Amino acid sequence: MRTDFYTFWKHALRERLVTGADRTPFRSPSGAVWLSRWALVCLIVGLTLYLAVGYDAGFIRINAATAAYPDWLWQCLTVLGDERVPFALALLFALRYPRVLWALVLAALIAAAYSRGFKALFDTTRPPGMLAADAFNLIGPSHTRASFPSGHSVTAAVFFGVLIYYTRWTALRALFLALAVLAGLSRVAVGVHWPVDVAAGVFGGALAAWLGAVLAARWPGPATNLWVHVAVVSLAVIPAATLLFDDAGYHAAAMPLAVLGAVALGVAGMQYLLRPWMGYRRVRLP
Average of pLDDT values for 46-70?
95
> Tens of pLDDT along 150-182?
999 999 999 999 999 999 889 999 999 999 999
Q: 210 with 156: CB under 8 angstroms?
A: no
* Cα gap 109→133, rounded to integer Å: 36
- What pLDDT was estimated at residue 24? 66
- What pLDDT was estimated at residue 22? 81
Radius of gyration of the chain (CA): 21
Average of pLDDT values for 186-215?
97
Residue 94 has pLDDT above 50, yes or no: yes
Q: Tell me if 144 is assigned to some domain.
A: yes
- What pLDDT was estimated at residue 2? 55
Question: Nearest to residue 153, comparing CAs of 178, 122, 191, 184?
Answer: 184
Which domain covers residue 155, as residue numbers? Answer: 27-281
Q: Tell me if 22 is assigned to some domain.
A: no
Backbone angles phi, psi at 26, to 5 degrees: -70, -30
Residue 84 has pLDDT above 60, yes or no: yes
For the chain, percent of residues with pLDDT exceeding 70 = 97
State pTM to two decimals: 0.95
- What pLDDT was estimated at residue 284? 77
* Cα gap 38→42, rounded to integer Å: 6
The domain total for the chain is 1
Q: Tell me if 263 is assigned to some domain.
A: yes
Average of pLDDT values for 68-75?
97
Residue 92 has pLDDT above 70, yes or no: yes
Q: 119 with 154: CB under 8 angstroms?
A: no
pLDDT band at 25, cuts 50/70/90?
low
Q: How far apart are the first and last CA of the chain?
A: 12
- What pLDDT was estimated at residue 119? 94
Q: Tell me if 255 is assigned to some domain.
A: yes
Q: What angle do CA 96, 99, 105 make, to 5 degrees?
A: 110
Q: Tell me if 1 is assigned to some domain.
A: no
Q: Tell me if 169 is assigned to some domain.
A: yes
Q: Tell me if 15 is assigned to some domain.
A: no
pLDDT band at 1, cuts 50/70/90?
very low
Average of pLDDT values for 227-252?
97
Alpha-carbon distances of 42 from 7, 32, 148, 197, 221, rounded to whole Å:
49, 15, 14, 11, 33
Average of pLDDT values for 75-100?
97
* Cα gap 92→170, rounded to integer Å: 22
Average of pLDDT values for 4-18?
92
Q: Tell me if 10 is assigned to some domain.
A: no
* Cα gap 244→254, rounded to integer Å: 8
* Cα gap 37→40, rounded to integer Å: 5
Alpha-carbon distances of 141 from 132, 137, 260, rounded to whole Å:
15, 12, 22
**What's the whole-number average pLDDT of the chain?**
94
* Cα gap 178→190, rounded to integer Å: 18
